[in-house]
Chain A
C-alpha cells in the first residue's frame, strides 16, 4: 500500500466526534433487493441508518445507489415492473407492509433530487410550503411560519425574503436546490434522502449545501448518494459501499462508519474504490 496516499485520504475524513453515537436507529434495511421486470438492480442491502447522522451511499455508476435510495420512500411504487424485496423499517415499522400509508411515509421521509426541480408554476413561497398544502394545511399563519423557518433552515431566507412571490425558476441552480431542501424540510421529516444533490452545482454552491447538511443533522437524519469521495468523507458519518456483482446487479459490499470505510475497510475492493483505482 502506498503509505503517502493513505495518509492523504485519512486526512480527508473530517473529525466526526461531534456526531451522536450510533445508538438510535432511524431506518433499518434487512436484506433489501430491488428488481425491475425480474432483473435485479440491487440486492443484499442490510444496514442501519442511525438517527441524526449523515449516511452516504457510494459506488460506481449502475451499482444501484439511486434505486436503493428511492426504495426508502417508496418512489418505485408507480414504476411498472419494479419490485422491492426484503424489509425496510422506519421506527420499527415495515414501510411496505406495516400500517403506514405511502403518503404518511413520504411526509416523514423526504427526498431531494439530483437536478433541482422546484415547481415552475409556483412562487418561491408556494414551493416552500407546497408539501403542507398538498397535505391539506390551509391556515395562513401556519404556512407563513413554515415558509420562513424552512427557508431559514435551508439558508435561503435572507436572499429571498423580499421576493417570496417571484417564480421559483428565477433563482440560480444552487438557490433552487436549496429551495428544494427547504420544501422537504417544511414537512418536518425525520429522514431526508438526497440523490447527488450537488452534482449539478458549482463548487461554492456545493460547499453551501454541504454546510447545510452538517447543520441539519441536529434535526434530521440524512442519507446522501454521492460520486464525490471528498464529499462523502467530509460530510458523512456512516458509509455504505455498493458494487456490481458478476451478473451486473449491485450489491452492498461494506457498511461502516465513514472513517472505517475510508481508512480501514475490510474488503480490498472498498479501498480500491475510495482511492479512485476503479469505478
Chain B
C-alpha cells in the first residue's frame, strides 16, 4: 500500500529511484521495439504466404482464360464435340452460362424468402423451435454439398418424378443457400438495436409489424450481403448440381428442362480426351470468377451507399 502511494507522488521519490525507473523504462522500450520489428516482419511473411498463391492462381486464370473468352462465339454458341477431321472445333458455352444464371435465379427465389423469414424468426424468438431450427441451420451450413445433390436427386428427380431438370438443380442449390441466408439474416436482425423495437412497440405497433416494418429494413444491408454470399457460393458449386441437372446441350430457361452449368462444363471438359476442350476450361473458370466478382462488388457498393444514406 505504501509503495503505491510513493509511486503516485513522484516528487517524493529520490533521485536514485528516478534514475533507476528511467533505466528500466529505457530497457523496456528497447525490448518493445525489437519485439514490434519481429512482429511486423512475421506479418509480412504471412501476407506473402497468403497473397502469392492467390496471385499465381489469378495470373494462370487470366493467362490461359483470356484467349478463350475473347471470342464472342464462346458466349453465343452451343458446345460442339471435336472430331478427328476437326479437332479444334469446340463451340461455346452459352448453355452453361444460361444454365448457371437460371439455376441460381430459381434457387434464390426459393431460398431468399424462406431464409430471411426464418432468420428473422430465429432472432426475434427464443422458443424451443427456434433453438432447434438454429441447430439444424448450423449443421446444414457445414454439411458436404454433394449431400444436397443426393437429396435433390432422390426427392425431386425420383420421388416427385420431375426428372433431370433446372428445378432439381436449383432445389439443391436453394437447400445449400438456405443456412447461409438464415444465419446471416439472424445476425443482421440481432444487430438492430432494441431501442428501435421498443420505439415501434411504444407507438402501438403489433410485434409482427415491428419485425417487418422496422427491424427488417434496419437489417437489410446485412441480409443482402448474406444473400449475395450465398448466391456466390451456390453459383460455383459443382457437386449439388452434378447429379440432377442432366447437363442439357440446349439453351433453356424453362425449369423442367435439363440444363448445364459453368462448373459442370469445367468438370466435363477437364476430363475430355480433346485438348481443345481442355483448353476451354480456363475460359469457363474465368467467366465464373468474373460472375462472382461482379456479384460481391455490387453488393459492397450497394451496402456502402445504403450505409451512407443513413
A→B interface (CB under 8 Å): 73, 75, 78, 80, 103-107, 110-111, 113, 115, 117-122, 130-131, 133-135, 167, 169, 180, 183-184, 187
Say whether B309 contacts A167, CB under 8 Å: yes
B209 interface hit (Cβ, 8 Å): yes
In the bound assembly, the distance between CA atoms of A247 and B209 in angstroms comes to: 40
Say whether B198 contacts A135, CB under 8 Å: no
Query: Nearest Cβ distance between residue A235 and chain B, in whole angstroms?
Result: 21
Can you report 24 A-B residue pairs in the complex whose CB atoms are below 8 A from each other? A75-B201, A75-B202, A78-B201, A80-B126, A103-B205, A106-B201, A107-B203, A117-B198, A119-B200, A119-B214, A120-B196, A120-B218, A121-B218, A122-B217, A130-B203, A131-B204, A131-B205, A134-B200, A134-B203, A134-B206, A167-B309, A180-B199, A184-B202, A187-B203
Chain A residue with Cβ nearest B306: A121
Say whether A75 contacts B198, CB under 8 Å: yes
| Contact among B195, B203, B217 for A131, CB-based, below 8 A | B203
In the bound assembly, the distance between CA atoms of A187 and B198 in angstroms comes to: 16
Say whether A111 contacts B204, CB under 8 Å: no
In the bound assembly, the distance between CA atoms of A107 and B202 in angstroms comes to: 8
In the bound assembly, the distance between CA atoms of A119 and B213 in angstroms comes to: 10
**B contact residues, range:** 20 to 34
In the bound assembly, the distance between CA atoms of A133 and B209 in angstroms comes to: 10
B→A interface (CB under 8 Å): 126, 193, 195-196, 198-207, 209, 213-214, 217-218, 220, 309-310
> Contacts of B202 on A, CB cut-off 8 Å?
73, 75, 106, 110-111, 113, 184
Say whether A134 contacts B310, CB under 8 Å: no
Say whether B195 contacts A115, CB under 8 Å: yes
> Contacts of A117 on B, CB cut-off 8 Å?
193, 195-196, 198-199
> Contacts of A106 on B, CB cut-off 8 Å?
201-204
In the bound assembly, the distance between CA atoms of A266 and B110 in angstroms comes to: 69
> Contacts of B209 on A, CB cut-off 8 Å?
134
- Having A120-B310, A121-B220, one finds 4 other A-B pairs with CB under 8 Å, namely A131-B203, A134-B204, A134-B213, A135-B203
Chain A residue with Cβ nearest B192: A120
Known: A134-B209, A134-B213, A135-B204. A119 touches B199 (CB 8 A): yes
Say whether A113 contacts B199, CB under 8 Å: yes
Say whether B195 contacts A113, CB under 8 Å: yes
Chain A residue with Cβ nearest B217: A121
4 shortest interchain CB distances as A-B pairs? A131-B203, A134-B205, A111-B202, A107-B204
Chain A residue with Cβ nearest B221: A121
Chain B residue with Cβ nearest A180: B199
> Which of B126, B199, B209 has the largest number of chain A CB atoms within 10 A?
B199
Query: Nearest Cβ distance between residue B259 and chain A, in whole angstroms?
Result: 38
Chain B residue with Cβ nearest A183: B203
Query: Nearest Cβ distance between residue B107 and chain A, in whole angstroms?
Result: 28
Say whether B195 contacts A135, CB under 8 Å: no
In the bound assembly, the distance between CA atoms of A254 and B118 in angstroms comes to: 49
> Contacts of A78 on B, CB cut-off 8 Å?
201, 207
> Contacts of B201 on A, CB cut-off 8 Å?
75, 78, 106
> Contacts of B310 on A, CB cut-off 8 Å?
120-121, 167, 169
Chain B residue with Cβ nearest A114: B195
In the bound assembly, the distance between CA atoms of A188 and B204 in angstroms comes to: 12
In the bound assembly, the distance between CA atoms of A43 and B213 in angstroms comes to: 36
> Contacts of B126 on A, CB cut-off 8 Å?
80
In the bound assembly, the distance between CA atoms of A222 and B220 in angstroms comes to: 36
> Contacts of A120 on B, CB cut-off 8 Å?
196, 218, 310
Query: Nearest Cβ distance between residue B125 and chain A, in whole angstroms?
Result: 11
> Contacts of B193 on A, CB cut-off 8 Å?
117
> Contacts of B217 on A, CB cut-off 8 Å?
119, 121-122
> Contacts of A130 on B, CB cut-off 8 Å?
200, 203
> Contacts of A133 on B, CB cut-off 8 Å?
213
In the bound assembly, the distance between CA atoms of A135 and B201 in angstroms comes to: 11
> Which of A73, A115, A130, A187 has the largest number of chain B CB atoms within 10 A?
A130
Query: Nearest Cβ distance between residue B210 and chain A, in whole angstroms?
Result: 8
Chain A residue with Cβ nearest B206: A103
Query: Nearest Cβ distance between residue B98 and chain A, in whole angstroms?
Result: 36
Query: Nearest Cβ distance between residue B47 and chain A, in whole angstroms?
Result: 37
> Contacts of B195 on A, CB cut-off 8 Å?
113, 115, 117
> Contacts of B198 on A, CB cut-off 8 Å?
75, 111, 113, 117
> Contacts of A121 on B, CB cut-off 8 Å?
214, 217-218, 220, 310
> Contacts of A135 on B, CB cut-off 8 Å?
203-205
In the bound assembly, the distance between CA atoms of A115 and B213 in angstroms comes to: 21
Query: Nearest Cβ distance between residue B121 and chain A, in whole angstroms?
Result: 15
> Contacts of B218 on A, CB cut-off 8 Å?
119-121
